[in-house]
Amino acid sequence: MRVCILGSGLTALTLAKALVNQNLSVDLISSNKNHKINHSRTIGISKSNFNYFNRNITNIEKISWKLKKIEIFTDKNENEKILNFENSDEQLFSIIKNYQLYEVLNKNLFKNKYFKKIKSIKPEKYNLIVNTEYNNIFTKKYFSKKIEKVYNSSAYTTVINHETISNQIAVQIFTKIGPLAFLPLSKNKTSIVYSIYNSKHVDRKKIIHLINQHNIKYKITKIEKIENFELKFFNLRSYYHNNILAFGDLLHRIHPLAGQGFNMTIRDINVFINIIKNKIDLGLPIDSSVNYEFEKNLKHKNYIFSNSIDFVQEFFNFERKLNNNVLSKSLKILGKNSYINKLFTKVADKGINF
């Protein structure tokens, strides 16, 4: 069996590693010849996905920082938590720098005999073609129809250096201009993700001011380069065309406020690999039927899950427009219910696949 993956980002490399671990041949090609990894971007990986990654893809213990608690606030009362998720024994989430994960995956793949990078594609050579890119001929031809929403927002990312503290609590503050997340990376480094509404006229000076304004515990010594990207929500209407499958952010893109984008992709990889393994075990062909089963298994789950993230974003956006905190007070009451709190935690960890 031979698979071609189109792309050069984390999704493409992670999927390639998962496939070669099954002794399947993978060719990787990218239309983006100058792919650059953003050094200020981080990803959060939930406990179950972190364990899956270590067992089935590659070990990422050394490049991760484990969080035991996540606290949610609003800027109307930054001393009183709306929600509180914690696990005193194990991590809730692990935070990893994008570029470090990229380097680990690249290094592992470079040494693998089942993997190679190619410069051009001959579609007839492959059982499956997996497309992770926004801008190529396959996307334009087969994957342009989607359910889409433009948030009129941008996410600003950076890393702050600060004095050493015990740094295992992530904080998210829903401010009047958008959600701000403090995501610990080590005892003296913390990642910042600030999703700002109507952000056309926001510059570095303004971002620094806002970070300092809402910073509740760090003695900052340095703020690294600030980068930004536009925020969108979408779900593809069709996951595949014949033996060509869309994957990763090309398939579903969500608001970063819950740190669930890459987690959705890892869950997708798990399902995809299991479908292929079952086909091989049963002596069945690896062809477009894999893509059919993948879509049948995941499309409705991904749609529900991604819309639930969108609902959270709209929930706090609506409260912002109302200019009161009645909704967040109601959420605080719900969060005190142990059953509901555990349910929220389980969904964040495993999606709706548990």
| Contact yes or no for 53/63 (Cβ under 8 A) | no
Helices H / strands E in the chain, number of each: 9, 18
| Contact yes or no for 254/153 (Cβ under 8 A) | no
Structure tokens at 339: 């059953």
- The residues, ordered by sequence, that sit 6+ positions from 103 with a Cβ below 8 Å of its Cβ are none
**How much is the pLDDT for 87?**
67
Structure tokens at 218: 């760090």
Domains with residue ranges and CATH for the chain: 2-350 (3.50.50.60)
Helices 98-110 and 10-20 pack at an angle, to 10 degrees, of 40
What is the enclosing helix (H) or strand (E) of 345?
Answer: helix 338-350
* The model's pTM: 0.92
How far is 272 from 303, CA to CA, in rounded Å? 17
**How much is the pLDDT for 113?**
96
pLDDT, mean of each 10-residue run, the chain (354 residues): 94 97 95 72 93 96 93 77 72 92 95 94 94 94 93 92 95 90 96 88 90 93 93 94 96 90 96 97 95 97 92 79 66 67 74 67
25-29/115-117 β-pairing = parallel
DSSP characters over 166-217: ---EEEEEEETTEEEEEEE-SSSEEEEEEEEET-TT--HHHHHHHHHHH--S
**How much is the pLDDT for 315?**
79
**How much is the pLDDT for 86?**
76
